[in-house]
Structure 1
Amino acid sequence: MNDHSAPLVGRRDVLNDLRGSLDAIVSGEFRLLALVGEPGAGKTRLLAELEKLAEERNCLTLWGRAAEFEQVMPFSALVDALDGHLESVENDDPLLASVFPALGATAKPSDDVSALARYRLYRAVAHLLTRIARPRGLVLVLDDVHWADEATVEFLDHVSRHSPKASLLVVVAYRPKQAPARLALGGTQVTIGPLSEEEAGELLGPYVTRSRKKALYDASEGYPFYLQALARVETGDVLPGSKNDALALELRDLSGDALRVAQGAAVAADEFEAELAAVAAKVPLASALDALDELAGRDLVRTGAGGRFRFRHPLVRQAVYESAKPGWRLSAHQRIAERLAAVDAPATLRAHHVERSASFGDRDAVDVLVKAARQVATTAPATSAHWLQVALGLLPDSTDRLDLLLELARNQTVSGRLTEARATAYEVLRLLPRDDYSRRGMAARFCALVERLLDRPGEGRAVLVSELREIPEPRLPAALPMRLRLVAESLMRGDHRAAQAVLDFMPDDSDDPGLRLAIAMLRPMTAYAGHRVEEALRHVAAAQALADATPEIHQLAWMDTVAWMCWAEIWLGHQRPALARLERAIAAVKATGQTFILTNMLAGLANLHGVFGSITEGLVAAEESAEIARLLNSGYAGVVALAQQSLLAGAAGDEQDAIRLGHTAVTSGFSTHEWHGAQARYAYATALARAGRIDEEAIAAVEEAFTGDRLEEFSMLAFCETMAAAHAARNEPAQAVAWAGRAATMVRPELEFTDGLARLARAHVTRDAEAEELAATAAEVLTKAGRRYDAGRALLRAGVACVDAGRKKAALPYLDAACEIFTAVGAGGLAAATLREQRRAGRRPATKKAAGAHGLTGRELEIARLVAQGCGNQEIADRLHISVRTVETHLTRAFEKLGVNSRGSLTATLAQLG
C-alpha cells in the first residue's frame, strides 16, 4: 500500500503530529490517531509518509483499507492489514480464527454465539495487536474507514475506550461526510485540508507555467490527488469543469480490452486476481494479462502481494466502476458469482456478488445469502442482518419467510439496531394467522422484549395485553409465554400486586416442563417484592427442587425467568445456588445467542462476586454487562450494568469512579421510574455517602430510590447501614442513630444476615466495648452467611472501636483479619484504611504477600498452573467458569509478581519454585 511516488509538500503540522505519535509508542505507549479529510486531500499519501517515519524508528507497519463496494464484508480492513502477518502466530481462540483466514486451519467452532462473543473478539484482536507489537512497536494503518463495516467500527470504538498496554499506534483515515455516526473515536484527530496555491505550485514543479498552475489549482480546488490527475492532461486539452471529472480523462485512449478488464476488476474486488478480472470482463486470461500490463503502465493499477493487483487509489476504482454500464456490471457480478460457486468458495465471498446479480425467486441465491448470514451472525450480526434482508427481498411468500424474519429480528437486536428489530418483529406478528395462537404468543413476547430494550415498557405491555385478548380461552398454553413476560414487566415497574395477580392466573401443573419451571422461578421474586419473605423462601426451595429435576433443554426458552430466580436467591441469602445457576445459565444463553438476557444475568453475577468477596471478578462481569448494553445500543440495559459497576467501584475503593458511573446511570433518562432506575439511584447515593458527600444531591437520590416499592428490601437495608456509617464519620450522631434505627426495622428473622448488617449499623453509632461487641457479632453472622466483604467491614469497625478505647492490643486480631479479607477480595481502599488503623494500634504490619504459594493468590496460582499445563485462556475460562477477561487479569498479575513476561517463562519459573 505504501506510495512515495508523489512528492509531499506542506503538511508540516500533520507531520509533527505523526512524529509525536510515533515517539509515544517507541516509549511504550498506545496512541489512536485519526486523519480526516475530503476525497483527494492526500490522506493516503500522508499514511505512506507515516510508514516511512515508522521504518526509521524500526517499527512494524501493517496496512489495510476498507472498500466502497464491499462495505458489508466483516472486518475487511483488519483482515487486509493483519492476515498476511499471522501465519506463524499461535492461536487457540476460535473467535479469532473465525475472522482471520490465516488462523482458521486448526480452529474449533466457538460455543458462544451471543454479543459477549463480539466483546471477547474485540479484546482478543486488541491482545493480538499487543503480541505483534512486541518488541519493535506496531503501527496499524486502516485507510478509508468511512467504508468500513459495522464490526470494524465497533472494534475501533472498543479499542478507543480500552487502550491496549502496548507500543501500538492505530491510525484511521476517513472522509468525515461519509463516515458513520459511530465513528466518533477518542484519541487525536487531524484534519487534512486542500493545499494552498503556493503549495500546489510546489507540487506541480518548475516546468509548469504560472497560468497553467492557476488553472489546475482552480479545477482541482487544491486537492493534491485531483491536481496530479489533471496535470496528466495534455497541455492543449481543455480542463474539466469539476475535479470530479478529472479521473475520466485518465480512462480515455485505453484499448477496448484494457477498459473492459479494468471495469471487470473494479467489479471483482478492491484487491483482485487477474483470473477473476478476466472472468468478470469476459475475456481470455492471456488478453487480461496484456490489458493489466497496459493499465499498470498508465499507473491505474499496481501490483500487490501474492500476484494480486490493486487500483492506484479507491477514487480510480470508483471512476472505473461508474464508467461501466449498469447492465454490464450486473452480468459481471453474475459471472464472478458463478465462478466462485464453481470453485466452491465460501458463501461469505459469494454473497457480495450474488446480492448484486440475483433475481427475484432465485432460491439458490437465497440459500447462499442465508448461509453467509449464519456464518457471520456471531461476529458480525449487522452484516448477517443485511444479507438476510437481501434474501427476504428475493424470496416469494412462503413458510420460510416467517422463520427468516424472526432470524432477522434477532440479528438486528444483537447488532443494536433495535428500532429495525422492533419493526421486523411486528411484521412477523402481522403476517401470522390470527388463529395461530402459539406462534403469535411467542412473537408478541419477543416484541415486548425488544420494546423493553428500547426502554418502551408501556408499548411492550400493550402488545401482550392485545394478543391475550384475542385468545378465546385465557388458560390456553399459548397464553403462558405472554403472561410470563407480563409478570416480569410488572416486577420491573415495582408493581408486585399486578405480578402476583398474573401468577395466580397461571397453573403450576403445565404439561410443558419448561413452562412449569419458568412459572416456579418467578414466584420467589414476586413474593419477596411483596415483603412476604417466608413465602419467598418456600418458593425458592420449590423452584430449586424443580430446576434440579428439569433437563436444561426444557429451560432454554425461558432463560429470562432464570435471571429473576437468581436475583431472588441473592437477596434471600442463597448466594451459592444462585452463583452456580447463573454460571450455567450464562453458558446456555451464550450458546443460544439470547443476548438480550445477558446484561441482567451478568449484572447479577457481578453482584454475587461482590457479595462473596471477589471484587475483581465482579468488576469484570459488570464491565461485560456494560459492553453488551453498548453493543445492543440499549439505554435500559446500560442502566442495569452501570448500577453494578458503580457499587463495585465503590467497594474496590475507587470513590470518584463510583460517583461518575452512578451519576451517568441516574442522568441517562432511561428506566427512570422502574426498579432499575431505583437501583441506579441507590448505587449513586451509596457512592456519594461513601465519599462523605451527604448533600442535597445525595438526599434527593435517596428519596427517589426509596419511593414506592421499586427498591427491594436488601438494598434498602444496606443503604441504611451505609448512611449510618457516613453520618457517624461526619460526627452527626442524631442522623446516624436515625439511620441505624431504620436498619433495625428491616431485620428479618428468616434471613440472619440482615441482623448482621443491622448490628453493624448500630456499631457505627456506639462506642467502646458496645461497638466492639456489636461489630464482632456482625462479623460472625456475615461470615457465616458468606458475605466476606461486609464481614471485613465489621471486623474493621471492631478494631477501630478497640483503638479508640485505648485497647490497642485487642484491636490487632480484628484488624489483621480485616486486612487479610480486603487484600484477598480486592478492596484496595479499605485495605489501606485498615493499614492506617494498624499503625494507630501501635505497630506497622509486616510486609505480607497475598495468600498463596510464591506470592500468588489462590486463583492466580490455579490459573498459572493451568497455563503450565498448556491450557489457553479460553480453555481456562471454560474450566473455571469465569470470563476470559478474568483469566487475563489474574495472569497479568501473576506475571508481575513472578517477574516474567511470557507463558513459557511462567512455566519455567513455576517448575523452579516447585
Structure 2
Amino acid sequence: MEGRATHDADDRPGNAPLVGRREALDALGHALDATEGGTFAFLALVGEPGAGKTRLLGELTDAGAARSLPVLSGRAAEFEQEMPFGAVVDALDDHLEDHRTGLSPQALRLLGTVFPALADFGESGPATAPAGSNGSADPRVARYQLHRTVRHLLEELAGPAGLVLILDDLHWADEATVELLDHLVRHPPKARVLVAVGYRPAQASPRLAALVDAAGPHSVHVAVDPLTMSEVEEFLGPDVSASRCEALYKASGGNPFYLEALARMDRGGEPAVVADDAEGVSWDMGVAKLTEVPSAVRTALQVELSALPPEALTLAHAAAVAADEFEPGLAAVAAEMDEAEALAALDVLTARDVVRPAAVGRFRFRHPLVRHVAYASTAAGWRLAAHDRVAAHLAGLGAPAAIRAHHVVRSARFGDASAARTLVEAAGVVAAQAPATAAYWLEAALDLMPDDPAPDQNGAAPADGSPTRVELMLELAHVQAVSGRASEGRLTARNLLNLLPTDDTIRRARAVQLCAVMERQLGRVHEARALVLDELRGISDRQAPAAVLLRIRLVFDRIQRIDIRGSQAVLDTIPESAPGWGPGLKAAIASMRPMTAYGAGKISEAIAYAEAGDRLFSAASDNDFTDCLDCMVWLGFCEIFLGRYEAALRHLERCVSIARSTGQTYILGYFLAGYSRALLLQGRLAEAAAAADEAAAVGRELRSREVVAYGVMQQCLAASWAGDHEFALKLGDEAVANDTGSGEWWTAMACVARACAMVNAGRLEEGSAALIEACGDGTKGLDMSTLTMCAETLAWVRGVQGDAQDASYWADIAGALAVEEVVGDTGLARLARAHALRVHEPARAAVLAAEAADMLRAAGRLPDAGRAEFTAGLANGAAGLRAPARERLRVAAEIFESCGMHGPHAQAVREQRRLGVRVPAPGGRAASGAGGRGNAPYGLSPRELEIAQLVAEGRSNQQIAEQLFLSVRTVETHLSRVFAKIGVTSRVGVATAMNRHD
C-alpha cells in the first residue's frame, strides 16, 4: 500500500511510494517476464479487504506500460454482483471498437450478446433480445462457445505486442466470469497474455480459489499480507509519534487501507477508535456476503463522509446507488438534484478524494469499502426510492431490461407486475451465457408475484402477458439445472410438483424429468428413479405421452447400469406407436431398443432396431425433441458399439445441435462424449480431443461429476493415443475420482481409460492389473465392444512380456466376445491372436495381423488398423522377412502420423530405422541414428539413447538387458544418467520426452 498516510487531502495516495511488498513485486516481475517471453501467465493476488491488492495491480499496470505491454483493467462491484461478465466488460468494452475488423462475423455476433460495444452485431443483443421459450436470448450460444470466442478476442487484442488483463475484486464476480476464467486457464490464449486477478480469500467461491491450481505451471500466487510494525511506521511517516504508530498498528492490524482510514480521521481531529471487534452490514445475492468491516474503520469512514457538505454527502449516497463506475447525470437522478448542483457536489467529492475520475466522463469511489459504507449508511427508504428513480430513468432512455434489472430488483414492491416482467425479460436475455444470474432474477420475480389465484389448468397466460407462477418455476428449475445449481433446482421442481394438479400430466412430467436430471447431477440416481416411479403411479393411462416419457426415463437409467433385463421388461410394455404420440416420442422409444438388443447379444436384431431408429430420427424435426432428446444418446452409443460410426456421428452431431438450440445443455455432455468416442475410433484424434474437452467443460459448468467423467475419460484416451502420457494419466485419475458409487457403465469405463493410459505409458504390469480389475468377470457393466478392446490390449501386454500362454488366454476371450456382424471387434480378436502367436510363431502372427489390419481398415477403425500393421511389421521382422516388415511398418507410420498418434508413430519410425530404413527426421533432416553423440537429444550417449528409446516402447529393464546383452544393473546405471540428462524422475517421463522428440 502507499505510504505517508498523513499527506494532505488533495494528494493522491495512489501516487505515493510503495511500502514493503518486495516479494510481491518480484512475483509481478516474473509474471511479466513470462508474458514477454511469449507464454500465457495467470497471476492471483489474494488478500483481505484493504490489504493492498489494488495498489499492487496498479504497480503491475505501470510495470507493464514500462515494458510496452498494453494493459486493460476492470473490476467486479459489490452491489452489481449479478451482472454477467461485469469485470470483463468493464475491462474490454471500451477497447473493442478498434478490433472489429479482426473478428469474424460469427465472433462478433457471439460477443455482441455480452459486450455493449458490439451489441449491434449480436443476433439477439442485450438491447433487443426477447425471452425465448426456454428463457434464452439465443440458446445456440452455449457458454463454452462464448468462452472460446473471448479467448480468441484476447488473442486479437494481444496482437504482437502482448496484453495484460487485470480483473480486480473478483470475489464479487458473477459465476459467468469465473467460468470464463476457468476456461482461459485450462485453454490458455495462444498469445503473450497475462491475466492478473485480485480477490479476498474468505469471500472467494471454491471455483475462483481453484483457478491457480487449474492454471498449473502458468500460475503465480501472491499472498498480500498485512504490513509489519516497521512498515507501518514507514507508511505513516516521521511526523507520527512511535506511540501513535503502535496504537494505529494495533487498531488496523497492519492493514494498509484500515490504517489510512484511521489516520485520516486522526488527522481530522477525531480520535481514532482502537478496537478489534468486527461487525458489518451483510447483503446477499445468494452467492457471497459482503465484507465485514471492522467497526473502528467503519466509524472512520463514516466520520469522513459525515464531514462532507450536505449536497456532497447526498451525491455520495446517490453515486453509491447508481453504479460502481457512475456518470454524474445518473447520480444526479438518484439524488434528485439538478445537473449544476450535482457537478458542484462532485467537485467537492473529488477534492476530498472520496471519488476519483475513471473513464472519460465517469467516476469511481477511491476504494470499494468507501462505496460500501456510503451505500450502507443511507436510509433504507431513501435507498429504495433512489433505485426506483434510476430504474425509471433508464427505462425512459430505452435501456435494456438486463441493465434495469439491477435497480428494479432493489426497488420493486410486492405485486408489481411490471417489475416482475422486467426481471423475467432480463433473465431471458442472459440465461444462455449466465444462467446463475437468470436464476437470481427469476427468483426475485417470483418473490414479487402473489400466488396464482387458481391452478392454470390450460396453461393460458394472464391477459397482460405476464407468465404464471407455475411457468416461472418451471423456467427457474431449468436455468438452475443448466447453471449447476442442482440442489436448489431439485427443490424448485419438487415445490412445483406440489403446486401442479395431478391431471396436468404434461407439465408434471417435465418437472419430474428436470428433477430427475438434477438428482443424477447430485449423484442421487436411486432418488431419481424413485421420483419417476412415484409419479408414474399417479398416471392411469400408461400409454399417455407423459407416462411414456417417464417410462423411457426408467429405461435410460437402467441402460446406464447395463440392466438389460430391466430395460427390456419396460420396453416390452411400450408399443411402437399410440394415439397422441409425436414423431420425437416415437423416435425416442425406437432409439432405446437397439441398446437392449445389443446388451442381450442379439446383434442382428440390434442392427435392425438401429436402422429403424435412424429412419424415425431423420423424419422428426428438431422441435419434436423438447422433452425426450436425452434418450437419443443410446442410439448413438449403440451404433458405436455396433461399428456404425458414420451413422453415430451423424446422429450425435444433430443431437448436439438440438441440445444447444433448445437449451438442454444439461444433457449436452453425454452427446459430446459419444461424439468424441466415435471420432477417436476413426482416428480423428484432434477432433475427438476437442469434443471431449467440451464435454468435460459442460460437466464443470453443471458441477456434475458424472458428466465431467464422461468427458475426461475420452480426453484421457485421446491424449494417451496421441502419446501425451503424463496428461493422459492425470486425466485418467480425474475420471476415476469422479465416481459417485453408482456402479454404472461410465464408472467402469473411467477405470478402463485410466488402465489403458497406464499401459500406453509403459506401466505394463500395473496397467494390465488395473484393466483386469476394471473388467472383472464381465459383469461390471461394460459393453462387449469395450471388453473386446480390453482383451486385445491384455493379449498385447502378455505378448510383449513373452507370456504366450496368458496372451493366448486373452486372445480366446477376445474371440469369444467378438461377433461376425461387428467387423471391427472381429478384427481386434484376430489381432489379439496375432499377439499371442508372435512369441513363438512370428510368421503366422504376421499373417493374422495383416488380416486384422484389413478388417479394421474396412471397419473404419484407422488407429487399430495402424496398430495391426505395426504388429505385422514386428512379426515379419522377427520371422526374418525384412521386406514385408519394412512395408508394414511404413504403412503403420503413415497411419499413425495421419491420426496424430505421435507416440506410436515414433515407435514405428524407430523400428523402421532398426531395419535399415532411412526415415527423415522432423523438419526434413535425415535421421542420424544412434551414432553421433552430438546429434542425440538431451546430450544422450548412443547407448543411453538406445535405452531411452526402448523405455519409450514400454520395455522393462530386464527386457532391455536381454535385448542389448547387458546386465540389469548396467541398464539401471545408464537409465539413471538418462533421468538426469532429460530432467525427469520416472520411466513415464523418459517415454514422454522421447516420443515428443521423435
Q: TM-score, normalised by structure 1?
A: 0.90
> Is it true that 1:515 corresponds to 2:585 in the alignment?
yes
Gaps of 5+ in 2: 3-11, 126-135, 213-218, 275-295, 457-467, 925-998
Deviations 1:79-104 (A, max 9, x none): 11111111111233122221111222
The 5 A counterparts of 1:469-548 are 469-511=537-579, 512=581, 513-548=583-618
Question: Could you say if the C-alpha distance between residues 516 and 556 of structure 1 is closer, same or farther in structure 2, counting changes exceeding 3 Å?
Answer: same
Moved more, 361-370 or 784-793: 784-793
Give the one of 679, 701, 719 matched to 2:749: 679
Conserved? CA contact 1:647–1:687, under 8 Å: yes
User: What SS does the corresponding residue of 2:205 show, helix, strand or coil?
Assistant: coil
Match of 1:180 in 2: 205
Conserved? CA contact 1:779–1:794, under 8 Å: yes
- C-alpha deviation, 1:849, in angstroms: 8.7
- C-alpha deviation, 1:276, in angstroms: 0.9
Deviations 1:312-358 (A, max 9, x none): 11111111112211111001001101111111101111000000000
Match of 1:883 in 2: none
> Is it true that 1:254 corresponds to 2:308 in the alignment?
yes
Give the one of 225, 234, 237 matched to 1:193: 225
- C-alpha deviation, 1:701, in angstroms: 4.7
Match of 2:806 in 1: 735
Conserved? CA contact 2:45–2:223, under 8 Å: yes
Conserved? CA contact 1:3–1:48, under 8 Å: no
Taking the aligned partners of 1:282 and 1:564, their CA distance within structure 2 comes to 62
Conserved? CA contact 2:449–2:469, under 8 Å: yes
Taking the aligned partners of 1:672 and 1:681, their CA distance within structure 2 comes to 14
Give the one of 98, 101, 105 matched to 2:113: 98
- C-alpha deviation, 1:203, in angstroms: 2.0
User: What SS does the corresponding residue of 1:182 show, helix, strand or coil?
Assistant: helix
Give the aligned residue type for 1:96: L
> Is it true that 1:205 corresponds to 2:237 in the alignment?
yes
Taking the aligned partners of 1:28 and 1:688, their CA distance within structure 2 comes to 33
> Is it true that 1:79 corresponds to 2:83 in the alignment?
no
Give the aligned residue type for 2:591: M
Match of 2:337 in 1: 283
Deviations 1:250-291 (A, max 9, x none): 112322111111101100000111111111011111111111
Over the aligned positions, Cα root-mean-square deviation in angstroms equals: 2.1
Conserved? CA contact 1:569–1:578, under 8 Å: yes
> Is it true that 1:350 corresponds to 2:404 in the alignment?
yes
Give the aligned residue type for 2:518: V
- C-alpha deviation, 1:108, in angstroms: 2.8
Conserved? CA contact 2:93–2:116, under 8 Å: yes
Match of 1:119 in 2: 144
Give the one of 31, 37, 54 matched to 2:41: 31
The 5 A counterparts of 1:337-736 are 337-398=391-452, 399=456, 400-511=468-579, 512=581, 513-695=583-765, 698-706=768-776, 707-708=778-779, 710-736=781-807
The 5 A counterparts of 1:120-159 are 120-159=145-184
Give the aligned residue type for 1:218: K
Moved more, 296-305 or 121-130: 121-130
Gaps of 5+ in 1: 851-914
Give the aligned residue type for 1:134: G
Deviations 1:715-737 (A, max 9, x none): 01111111101110111111111
Match of 1:44 in 2: 54
Question: Could you say if the C-alpha distance between residues 27 and 693 of structure 1 is closer, same or farther in structure 2, counting changes exceeding 3 Å?
Answer: closer
- C-alpha deviation, 1:505, in angstroms: 0.6
- C-alpha deviation, 1:556, in angstroms: 4.1
Taking the aligned partners of 1:4 and 1:645, their CA distance within structure 2 comes to 47
Taking the aligned partners of 1:285 and 1:227, their CA distance within structure 2 comes to 36
> Is it true that 1:20 corresponds to 2:35 in the alignment?
no
Taking the aligned partners of 1:383 and 1:761, their CA distance within structure 2 comes to 54
Deviations 1:638-690 (A, max 9, x none): 22222222222222222333333223222333255111112112222222333
Conserved? CA contact 1:112–1:591, under 8 Å: no
Conserved? CA contact 1:122–1:158, under 8 Å: yes
> Is it true that 1:758 corresponds to 2:829 in the alignment?
yes
Taking the aligned partners of 1:690 and 1:53, their CA distance within structure 2 comes to 46
> Is it true that 1:237 corresponds to 2:275 in the alignment?
no
- C-alpha deviation, 1:126, in angstroms: 2.4
Give the aligned residue type for 1:387: W
Conserved? CA contact 2:423–2:444, under 8 Å: yes
Give the one of 841, 858, 882 matched to 1:808: 882
Deviations 1:83-142 (A, max 9, x none): 111111123312222111122222334999669821222222222222222322222111
Give the aligned residue type for 2:259: L
Conserved? CA contact 1:33–1:171, under 8 Å: yes
Question: Could you say if the C-alpha distance between residues 849 and 694 of structure 1 is closer, same or farther in structure 2, counting changes exceeding 3 Å?
Answer: closer
Taking the aligned partners of 2:661 and 2:542, their CA distance within structure 1 comes to 33
Deviations 1:400-428 (A, max 9, x none): 11111111111111111111111111112
Conserved? CA contact 2:123–2:138, under 8 Å: no
Give the aligned residue type for 1:50: L
Give the aligned residue type for 2:492: T
Taking the aligned partners of 2:656 and 2:473, their CA distance within structure 1 comes to 26
The 5 A counterparts of 1:47-62 are 47-62=57-72
Match of 1:884 in 2: none
Deviations 1:421-470 (A, max 9, x none): 11111112111112222322222222222212222110011011111111
Taking the aligned partners of 2:647 and 2:739, their CA distance within structure 1 comes to 34
Taking the aligned partners of 2:52 and 2:593, their CA distance within structure 1 comes to 65
Give the one of 89, 98, 119 matched to 2:99: 89
Deviations 1:801-828 (A, max 9, x none): 1111121112222222221111111111
Taking the aligned partners of 1:330 and 1:408, their CA distance within structure 2 comes to 26
User: What SS does the corresponding residue of 1:330 show, helix, strand or coil?
Assistant: helix
- C-alpha deviation, 1:560, in angstroms: 1.1
Deviations 1:186-213 (A, max 9, x none): 1222222222222222222223333433
Conserved? CA contact 1:525–1:564, under 8 Å: yes
Give the one of 261, 265, 268 matched to 2:322: 268
Taking the aligned partners of 1:10 and 1:709, their CA distance within structure 2 comes to 60
Give the aligned residue type for 2:270: D
Taking the aligned partners of 1:500 and 1:800, their CA distance within structure 2 comes to 46
Q: TM-score, normalised by structure 2?
A: 0.82
Deviations 1:589-612 (A, max 9, x none): 111111121111111111111121
Conserved? CA contact 1:66–1:142, under 8 Å: yes
User: What SS does the corresponding residue of 2:238 show, helix, strand or coil?
Assistant: coil
Match of 2:950 in 1: none
Match of 2:370 in 1: 316
- C-alpha deviation, 1:848, in angstroms: 8.5
Match of 1:214 in 2: 246
Match of 2:846 in 1: 772
Question: Could you say if the C-alpha distance between residues 701 and 816 of structure 1 is closer, same or farther in structure 2, counting changes exceeding 3 Å?
Answer: closer
Match of 1:903 in 2: none
User: What SS does the corresponding residue of 1:598 show, helix, strand or coil?
Assistant: helix
User: What SS does the corresponding residue of 2:196 show, helix, strand or coil?
Assistant: strand
Taking the aligned partners of 1:668 and 1:709, their CA distance within structure 2 comes to 17
- C-alpha deviation, 1:747, in angstroms: 2.6
Deviations 1:9-66 (A, max 9, x none): 1112211111222222122222211112222222222222222222221111111111
Give the aligned residue type for 1:148: A
- C-alpha deviation, 1:704, in angstroms: 4.0
